[in-house]
Amino acid sequence: MKKPLLALTAAAAAVVALATPASAAPTGDTIVTFTVATADLNVTVPPSVNVGSVFAGSSITGELGTVTVNDERAALNATWTATVSSSAFTTGGGTAAETIPPALVEYWSGAATSVTGTGALVPGQPTQNDAVTLSVPRTAFSKTSGAGDNSASWAPDIRIAIPASAVGGTYRGVITHSVA
């Protein structure tokens, strides 16, 4: 009598094997990462410029040379603002008669001379009529939209009003461009 029980068990196992679908093959997931390399946002300017000579009581105008912002951050929102400021211009010991304050220094960026990438570039002061004093930091140029690497160059001008009380000498000051 034990034999039919074995036959029944073998038959039941066959039915179960046919009714159960084949199991899926084993799987494994691998998480893959990588980095898109980025660089910096920076500004380059000429190291120095001489805008000439002038008599006290008049003004002098000169180009600063090419200013370039390079944005190599590969950003989805690649916007930036370049700011300009000025120190006082001094000669000799920097007394009152030997100092021209930043409030007497005017700046205008002019239009872009060269651009790469996409997006909207906005000059801070497109023309000489838009000149601003550098008594406080001013926007020189900005990028208001776009993505990815980009650059912009411009050739700004300055105009310095020389007080009638200014003494003779070679005046030195610093025009600073920064970008963020």
Question: What is the fold of 38-179?
Answer: Immunoglobulin-like (2.60.40)
Percent of the chain surpassing pLDDT 90: 78
Q: Where are the domains of the chain?
A: 38-179
Encoding tokens for residue 113?
A: 């001379």
pLDDT at 3 over 70: no
Which two three-digit tokens encode residue 41? 């946002």
- What's the Cα-to-Cα distance from 148 to each of 75, 92, 104, 112, rounded to whole Å? 5, 48, 38, 19
Residues 10-38: tens digit of each pLDDT: 444 444 455 555 677 888 998 898 777 77
pTM for this prediction: 0.80
- Decide if pLDDT at 94 tops 50: yes
If one compares 72 and 14, the residue with the highest pLDDT of the two is 72
147, 168 contact by CB (below 8 A) = no
